[in-house]
């Protein structure tokens, strides 16, 4: 059984309802949504952005696999947005019927290495790799320079 991380996300009330009822289906679109988000440049020198709507919000306790959790936090940290805002965007993508009709063509792999992590310095390398599915269920990496998973 895969380890689950229990955490919470802050979502507008309407989105929270969809998240509770369809979390597993919504997460099937994570690869597509994260690839769309990674078209944006890495953001630095600004504060983290959070969900901004006029609607009431609620805190939703949720469970992520360690892979889902690490992947979402990696992209959120690079773009300086909250994981909650990524989930909200993912829900909005999932709500588009035309997007749900499209087959999944990608898998995702998060890996990291920490060559130095002590009181003198911290060096951490995180890697998010997308793999395209070809016709016979095999996968082909999209990146040429892949690092090994620890």
d(C-alpha 28, C-alpha 22), whole Å: 10
Q: Give tens-digit pLDDT for 70-116.
A: 999 999 999 989 999 999 999 999 998 776 656 666 778 888 899 99
DSSP tally for the chain: helices H, then strands E: 5, 5
- For the question of whether the overall pTM of this predicted structure is more than 0.85, the answer is no
Comparison of pLDDT for 116 and 134, the residue scoring more: 116
Q: Give tens-digit pLDDT for 3-39.
A: 899 999 999 999 999 999 999 989 988 888 898 898 8
Question: How long is the chain?
Answer: 150
Give bridge partners of residue 98 from the DSSP assignment. none
What per-residue confidence (pLDDT) applies to 147? 40
How many alpha carbons fall within 13 Å on the CB side of residue 38?
15
């Amino acid at each position: 059984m895969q380890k689950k991380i229990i955490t919470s996300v802050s979502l507008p009330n309407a989105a929270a309802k969809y998240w509770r009822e369809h979390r597993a289906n919504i997460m099937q679109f994570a690869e597509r949504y994260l690839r769309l988000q990674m078209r944006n440049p890495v953001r630095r020198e600004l504060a983290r952005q959070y969900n901004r709507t006029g609607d009431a919000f609620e805190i939703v306790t949720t469970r992520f696999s360690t892979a889902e959790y690490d992947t979402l936090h990696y992209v959120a940290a690079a773009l300086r947005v909250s994981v909650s805002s990524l989930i909200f965007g993912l829900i909005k993508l999932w709500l588009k019927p035309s997007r749900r009709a499209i087959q999944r063509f990608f898998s995702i792999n998060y890996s990291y290495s920490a060559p130095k992590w002590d009181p003198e310095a911290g060096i951490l390398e995180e890697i998010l790799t997308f793999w395209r599915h070809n016709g016979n269920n095999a996968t082909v990496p999209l990146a040429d320079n892949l690092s090994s998973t620890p």
